[in-house]
Amino acid sequence: MSHNRRDFLKHSSVLAGSAVAAALATAPSAAAAPTAAPVRRRGAAPRMTLRFRPYTIQLRHVFTIATSSRTTTPVVLTEIEYDGVTGYGEASMPPYLGESHESALAFLKQVDLSRYESPFGLEAILHDIDALAPGNPAAKASVDIALHDLVGRLLRQPWYNIWGYDPQKTPYTSFTIGIDTQDVVRQKTQEAAEYKVLKVKLGRDTDKMMVETIRTVTDKPITADVNQGWTDRAAALDMLHWLHERGVVMVEQPLPKERVDDLAWLTARSPVPIIGDEGVQRLADIPKAKGVYSGINIKLMKCTGMREAHQMIVLARALGMKVMLGCMTETSCGISAASHLSPMVDWADLDGALLISNDVYDGTQVVDGKVTLRNRPGIGVRKLKG
């Protein structure tokens, strides 16, 4: 593994996109420099340069949820450079969500940041990027995160300070235990001794075994993620009561997201909060989710990044909904970006970087189970030396 600057550039695509002529007209040195180094011509206004490269995350364990199993996750690592300062971003794309190395690289090639005078106009820049194509939320998030990191570095403050959040108020993160055999579940539960909350993946015929096995090891609070895996609403309600009696404190996406009426029925009767994950992607989904779910699971990779995630927290709170902050398997880049919002949420599931064996960044950590922010500008990451 080599992640130094030379290696990054070797694998990078320097942004060209469809607007090379425009970029050359306004910022010739920055756009034309073959290495994207800050060869800023004296007097020329600085412009942003976007770089990106595909990367494959290796998981420490085979990861199984209701619908799939895998050992790797494709990601794209981005960098945005402006006036000698570089911000870092990431797109993480579990294959079942529809994005891929190919789709993300194709999307990012369309992003022309050289046409903006400064990185501070996040509202307009991110609006333009969102409008480039529908979908592609992780690819969009990789630009959003790098822009936030860049702006935070230019402001010389971590985003928790820019947003005004107390870094001491971060939550404990849950540690996820995937669907597996009884022996593996028991072993993983034992290995998760540091964590104060466990998240169990449910949605197959092994649900009771999973929870009972964990309960042979620990009485810690458990959150459950069904990933749309249940089908009958009456059976689901029985299962919610069964789980509640065994110390499960919250359940994500018990039924398929399309079954809005059944979900509302379940939420109205459930002894534990029901959180929408697959059913709530972006800001515009939240008003419709009121009454259907007790709360929402916000993930940067499905909502296009930090700016919209921040707005989603404001909106959900104002509507009296609970907020969970989740992640994909990600490097410490994506996890660190999300973690600046974590002082404002009810539950956090930010264990994504703990599940991988080839992280690329050092950033937000989990210390004794608690999300622990670094007092560093931007999203607070540093590139690891390869």
Residue whose tokens read 């909350």: 197
**Pairing verdict, β 365-367 and 370-372:** antiparallel
Find the part of the chain contacting its own copies (CB under 8 A) among 50-58, 103-111, 153-161, 195-203. Answer: 153-161
For its own copies, the closer of residues 111 and 226 by Cβ is: 111
Q: Looking at 120, 209, 249, 365, which residue binds its own copies (CB under 8 A)?
A: 120
Closest separation between CB of residue 120 and its own copies, Å? 4
For its own copies, the closer of residues 239 and 298 by Cβ is: 298
CB 358 within 8 A of CB 58: yes
Q: Which among 268, 270, 236 is positioned nearest to 254, based on CA atoms? A: 236
Find the part of the chain contacting its own copies (CB under 8 A) among 38-46, 66-74, 156-164, 214-222. Answer: 156-164
The Cα–Cα gap between 280 and 235 comes to 23
Q: Looking at 315, 327, 341, 360, which residue binds its own copies (CB under 8 A)?
A: 315
For its own copies, the closer of residues 227 and 364 by Cβ is: 364
Does the protein bind its own copies through residue 113 (CB under 8 A)? no
The Cα–Cα gap between 25 and 127 comes to 23
Find the part of the chain contacting its own copies (CB under 8 A) among 79-87, 241-249, 263-271, 307-315. Answer: 307-315
For its own copies, the closer of residues 122 and 209 by Cβ is: 122
Neighbours of 320 (CB within 10 A): 9
Burial status of residue 310 (CB atoms within 10 A of its CB: 0-12, 13-18, 19 or more):
buried
Residue 368 CB contacts under 8 Å (≥ 6 apart), including other chains: 194
Lay out the site mask for its own copies across 161-180 (x = CB under 8 A, - = otherwise): xxxxxx--x-----------
Helix (H) or strand (E) holding 53: strand 49-64
Does the protein bind its own copies through residue 314 (CB under 8 A)? yes
Strand partners, 200: 177, 224
Lay out the site mask for its own copies across 65-104 (x = CB under 8 A, - = otherwise): ----------------------------------------
For its own copies, the closer of residues 280 and 354 by Cβ is: 280
Does the protein bind its own copies through residue 230 (CB under 8 A)? no
The Cα–Cα gap between 175 and 350 comes to 8
Q: Looking at 146, 185, 240, 283, which residue binds its own copies (CB under 8 A)?
A: 283
The footprint of its own copies on residues 343-372 (CB under 8 A) is 343-344
Q: Is the dihedral of CA 90, 7, 365, 180 positive or negative?
A: positive
Task: Read off φ and ψ for residue 362, nearest 5 degrees.
Answer: -110, 130
Burial status of residue 206 (CB atoms within 10 A of its CB: 0-12, 13-18, 19 or more):
middle
Binding residues for its own copies (CB under 8 A): 118, 120-126, 151, 155-157, 161-166, 169, 283-284, 286-287, 307, 311, 314-315, 318-319, 343-344
